[in-house]
Amino acid sequence: MTSTVQRCQEVPPTDVMSAAVQALVDEGVSEFGRLDMVCANADIAGIAENTWTMTEDEWSEMIAVDLTGVWKTVKAAAHPR
């Protein structure tokens, strides 16, 4: 039998910019009956080593994932059921 902690550790990385976030939240609620917390932690790797070499497109992509992705995660988790 798999414990709740073990099951939570099995959650795969999720594209926070897609509908996969809502699907993951819905799956968790379906499996566990409720959602007690959410860890909205998003990052995008491999953009640039430092700010002064970033292009504006790289900056925009980073902001989209790091800020908007976290917002989408919280929004999906906080939506009343």
What is the tens place of the pLDDT at every residue in 4-61? Answer: 666 666 777 788 888 888 998 898 889 888 888 888 887 787 777 788 888 999 889 8
pTM of the model: 0.72
Structure-token pair, residue 15? 């594209």
**Which of 40, 18, 37 is CA-nearest to residue 29?**
37
Taking the CA of residue 51 as centre, how many other CA atoms within 13 Å lie in the half-sphere pointing to its CB? 1
**Which of 9, 21, 10 is CA-nearest to residue 65?**
21
